[in-house]
Structure 1
Amino acid sequence: MCFACSPFAGALADAVSRRVLLKHAFAGVASAGLAGVTRRFVCSPAEAASEGADTLFSGGPIVTIDDARPTAEAILVRGGRIVAVGARADVERQASGPVRTVDLQGKALLPGFVDPHGHVVMVGLQALAANLLPAPDGAGNDIPALQRILRDWIVGNSRIIDRYGVIIGFGYDDSQLREQRHPTRADLDAVSSDVPIVIVHQSGHLGSLNGKALDRVGVTRDTPDPPGGAFRRGADGATPNGVCEEAAFFTAISTLLGRLDRQAYLDMIKAGAAFYASFGYTTVQEGRAMPGSATMLAQAGEAGLLDVDVVVYPDVFQSLKEAAPSRDYTHHVRIGGVKATIDGSPQGKTAFLSQPYYKPPDGKGPDYRGYAAITKEQIVGAVDLAFANGWQILTHANGDAAVDWLIEAVAAGTAKHGPGDRRAVLDHGQTTRLDQLPKLKELAILPSFFPMHTYYWGDWHRDSVLGPERAARISPCRSARTLGLIFTTHHDAPVANPDSIRVLSATVTRVTRSGHVLGPEERVDTLTALKAMTLWPAIQYFEEADKGTITPGKLADFVVLSENPLAVKPEDLITLKVVETIKEGKSIHRST
């Protein structure tokens, strides 16, 4: 599953950015007062006065993720970089003058988390919408609850409704609703029949519209299904019931949310970056940027709205006129490469599988395997374009049939352009087969897995999507390591919160919502799971010289946790808390 590497966020970003860039210039952005979603802590006067001094961190366990020196007593930071790591007395001797000491008070300090796949702008959109997520991230556990949440949101958000002409909800999940179905136009019309309502499925690959919204986008019983998508129909087989899949949904929502303006876009960017920082991330991603998005992110950086680094991957099928990929950041933003999307969402049952779904969705036969969003020729062409230009390419492929297409495309590109250090990335690879892993290794395709899925949708995969045998193999982290593959792990926010602790816990335990361990043979140890959130994503980004371990010379990007994750039982990892996030030696988030 993927949110904005689904074309939804891209379609929305395209609609917003076209409006933004046509109507506004950049003048005055730096003076904009934008509210974030987390509390921002700035230096105290004493801290400000000593900003040019060395800073020494000690007083708690320091987990370096550096195999050459796994632990340390102290770290010395100067000018945003790590100067020394080791025994406190040795570190102190390397200070160049006055030293500001930070006492960790028994808390654990680790390298800042590096997000290998997520969507920082759309996390900001989520902050503007009604929270329809089910427990534990929200209260959207049945359709009456969704209706209640939407009604409450309407009361408190009249400004947004008046300004943008739409009621927005995000995060409902039919697999977790008591009714085990999608809300329909009738369910949403009961909330309002006068104002368009659009609610986004947690995967970002589907959504539901009320009657007014369907009217606004011109969908009727005579509207055909678009290529790569579908308007689900009512009992008569013709009348749209409000539920829209893939391309049908992306087109509808880009129309409905096209009135979002530049101020809203900058609000979204700032809020998304701040929310990521609250979970200990110091490097984040905009995983499928459409024309205009990279420019807006660059403007947000220039205006000082970003405390974290943002790596942007424009859609490979869209224009790259805004900027060429670069290894260098400007105001915390850089273009990392390009992004391609082959298929959809496994829990939404639109991912492209080689074998049929365990239980096909309504209206589909027993041979239904999902479908691709593009043709095989298109992904071969996308990889060829990236390799020809020396661009890194990240590819969304959830179903194993989609993974087969990616393997074929990279093999063809490698044969044509020769070997090279390209670090092509498989995003998600949820249903990657064990026989595909050696091919990923041979072609140097780095898998970015989604083991957090085992918690959120593991039971659903086992009982409805894939069946017990295939479900047990989703995100095959242990099998990848056994073959010598490194992998990264992600949350795909805003599909779920960018919850680093949930990512860590799920990778180690693979415990589902019901408490079942899904595929115990694919569990890994805590240190391996931490590398998949720090060092290995830094390698994915070609940034291992600057990030991923606490090593002299690297950036002073840290996260402080309530306890040392290497010292707690696997089942207790989920109780860890992010206490503080530090970017280049400066605190950018502290828990309250």
Structure 2
Amino acid sequence: MTSNEKLYFNGDIITLEDELYTEAVLVKDNKIYKVGKKEDLQKCACENVELIDLQGKTLIPSFIDSHSHFSGYASSFSQVDITEAASFADVSDAIKRFIEKNNVPPGKWIQANGYDQNIFEEKAHPSKAILDEASPNNPIVAKHKSGHMGVLNSLGIKELGITMDTPNPEGGVIEKKDGEVTGYLEENAFVKYVQEIPMVSNEEFMGNLIKAQNAYASYGITTVQEGFVVDLLADIFQYLIHSKLLKIDLIGFLDIGNADKLKEKFANCLQKYDNHLKIGGYKTFLDGSPQGRTAWMRTPYIDDPNYFGYGTQKDEEVEQKLERALKDKMQILVHCNGDAASQQYINQYKIAKEKTGITEDIRPVIVHAQFLAEDQLDDVKALNMIPSFFVGHVYHWGDIHIKNFGIERASKISSAKSAQDKGIVYTFHQDAPVIEPDMLETIWCAVNRITKKGVLLGDDEKVTPLDALKAVTKNAAYQYFEEDIKGTIKEGKLADLAILDKNPLKVDPMDIKDIKVLETIKEGETIYKK
């Protein structure tokens, strides 16, 4: 007979409560039943309780993803991986290999994902001519690693009906040079046309969703986010609910521009779980990406005194969306990388609160908050905004930020310590599929703040391993209004746990990224084991 009780002991058990460590944890059914001394817990356990000897390993609350794109990460399994491409030739070769390996027929769309022009020999975005050479008989889109821009080949341009007469959408760019469409799309133009590219078959996409779920679990994550739910995903997510395929919690945020239609489709899971899926609120975007040079800044990019990046929406539009979130009592996540975008959010949220007179706290989130500045933190604190920092930028693009903004400004990206000193609750995320949802690498980035070239970027913005761990567990639960059921090891909370081979609070800080997730447990059941 299998026991529904498990007793964990003989390891470092980090509770993240006031008493940081405990000797043992008793799990009953799907919850943490008791925390304390092993001897005491055995007395209140059933006779056939399963004894789990940690053998010196570390048990923690499982990681909580505070911002990513679950479906986008799933889609990446059917796309050409060009994250390591160092030249146009590498991009072309990767596409050719993908076509040959997968027997891609002429006419079928090919999506290549993850290039970064900053590391290319050519220091430029790939051209449509390069993509035409890779495959003239397939429509192709090559997507920038940031997810904010990309390039179409000639057939792709034709398939999507883009011509010299096609206007730029507000907050986006369709590049045209020398009397022709170049294929390069930026921000709202990129988002618009990528959504028009046909999806893979339902069968393939559902398989990819399961692969994505398993991948998140392998990183110790039991709660993930769908950061922008569009109409295209509604039926797929309904299928996930009814098929009961989800074994991790998935929290979606609706495109607020299409909220009425989407809310109807998700009426059964608005702010409550239905077979592990919940709609947590709304989402909108106010700017782009700093490494892609589209983040909206208050001071110009260092190489051009007249270029500040740009916003994607007018003040009135932003204010109306924030009013709606307040009136609907729905949390809102707002993408802001540059400090001008953050300022627009702060200003319009103040106005929306004043106009509506609503005092209820919806815990508005500043997604990415890369250049959120010191002078903005008092307002962030007063408005109970939650910055969710993409702190992995320090390692992955810190050197690019130094080039674009200078060392002083670049050193203040992901200003977690400054926020902490103001008493602001913050979280960390990876924005998958932009980078892998590797929480231990993220903790390492926040603690050490080292760039790829080995530059120490912002020593005064380092946080301790304990505070970084809280940002991806306890604080992330708070961001989701789930602090009563997740984020720490405490009696009555869900048994969402992860077992690590080493203790991130005790190893050398530079070794944190090398720690391995050995097991991931969702509501008492193992969903991943190394």
Superposed pair shares fold, TM > 0.5: yes
| CA displacement, residues 409-454 of structure 1 (integer Å, 9 cap, x when unaligned) | 2212222323222111111111111000110000111111111110
| Displacement after TM superposition at 1:262 (Å) | 2.9
1:243 partnered with 2:196: no
Amino acid at match of 2:421: T
The one of 29, 32, 36 aligned to 1:79: 29
Please state whether the residue corresponding to 2:134 is helix, strand or coil: coil
Partner of 2:421: 482
The one of 507, 526, 538 aligned to 2:477: 538
| Displacement after TM superposition at 1:222 (Å) | 4.5
CA distance in 1, matches of 2:357, 2:81: 47
The one of 115, 125, 136 aligned to 2:75: 125
Partner of 1:54: 5
Structure 1 segments (4+ residues) deviating >6 Å:
none
| Displacement after TM superposition at 1:178 (Å) | 2.5
Please state whether the residue corresponding to 1:348 is helix, strand or coil: coil
Partner of 2:308: 369
CA distance in 1, matches of 2:159, 2:358: 50
From the superposition, tell whether residues 53 and 221 of structure 1 become closer, same or farther in structure 2 (CA, over 3 Å): closer
| CA displacement, residues 538-572 of structure 1 (integer Å, 9 cap, x when unaligned) | 00111011100011111110111120000111111
CA distance in 1, matches of 2:466, 2:199: 46
CA distance in 1, matches of 2:46, 2:411: 54
Q: Which moved more, 1:297-306 or 1:445-454?
A: 297-306
Amino acid at match of 2:476: P
CA distance in 1, matches of 2:237, 2:207: 11
The one of 501, 508, 513 aligned to 1:569: 508
In the comparison of the two structures, how many residue pairs are matched?
A: 525
The aligned runs of 1:473-512 (5 Å cut-off) are 473-512=412-451
Please state whether the residue corresponding to 1:451 is helix, strand or coil: coil
Are the equivalent residues in 2 in contact too, given 1:312–1:334 (CA < 8 A)? yes
Please state whether the residue corresponding to 1:336 is helix, strand or coil: strand
| Displacement after TM superposition at 1:332 (Å) | 0.4
**Structure 2 segments unaligned to the other structure (5+ residues):** none
Are the equivalent residues in 2 in contact too, given 1:292–1:322 (CA < 8 A)? no
Q: Which moved more, 1:409-418 or 1:53-62?
A: 409-418
The aligned runs of 1:428-439 (5 Å cut-off) are 428-439=368-379
Partner of 2:51: 101
Partner of 2:287: 343
| CA displacement, residues 109-166 of structure 1 (integer Å, 9 cap, x when unaligned) | 11010111111111000111111113xxxxx2222222221111111222xx349811
Tell me the TM-score normalized by structure 1: 0.86
Are the equivalent residues in 1 in contact too, given 2:107–2:139 (CA < 8 A)? no
Please state whether the residue corresponding to 2:121 is helix, strand or coil: coil
Are the equivalent residues in 2 in contact too, given 1:424–1:445 (CA < 8 A)? yes
Q: Which moved more, 1:388-397 or 1:102-111?
A: 102-111
| CA displacement, residues 159-184 of structure 1 (integer Å, 9 cap, x when unaligned) | xx349811121101111222211111
Please state whether the residue corresponding to 1:317 is helix, strand or coil: helix
Amino acid at match of 1:289: V
Tell me the TM-score normalized by structure 2: 0.96
Partner of 2:209: 269
| Displacement after TM superposition at 1:292 (Å) | 4.5
Are the equivalent residues in 1 in contact too, given 2:366–2:386 (CA < 8 A)? yes
Partner of 2:119: 176
Please state whether the residue corresponding to 2:366 is helix, strand or coil: strand
| CA displacement, residues 465-501 of structure 1 (integer Å, 9 cap, x when unaligned) | x221111111100000111111000000011111111
Q: What is the CA RMSD across the aligned residues, in angstroms?
A: 1.7
Q: Which moved more, 1:74-83 or 1:140-149?
A: 140-149
Partner of 2:254: 314
**Structure 1 segments unaligned to the other structure (5+ residues):** 1-48, 135-139, 361-365
From the superposition, tell whether residues 538 and 259 of structure 1 become closer, same or farther in structure 2 (CA, over 3 Å): closer
Please state whether the residue corresponding to 2:453 is helix, strand or coil: coil
Please state whether the residue corresponding to 2:118 is helix, strand or coil: coil
The aligned runs of 1:133-212 (5 Å cut-off) are 133-134=83-84, 140-158=85-103, 161-162=104-105, 165-212=108-155
Q: Which moved more, 1:572-581 or 1:242-251?
A: 242-251
Please state whether the residue corresponding to 1:212 is helix, strand or coil: helix
Partner of 1:38: none
CA distance in 2, matches of 1:444, 1:566: 29
Partner of 1:547: 486
CA distance in 1, matches of 2:383, 2:4: 47
CA distance in 1, matches of 2:9, 2:120: 47
Amino acid at match of 1:468: I
Are the equivalent residues in 2 in contact too, given 1:581–1:589 (CA < 8 A)? yes
Structure with the bigger RCO (C-alpha within 8 Å, sep 6+) is 1
The one of 64, 69, 92 aligned to 2:15: 64
CA distance in 2, matches of 1:557, 1:164: 45
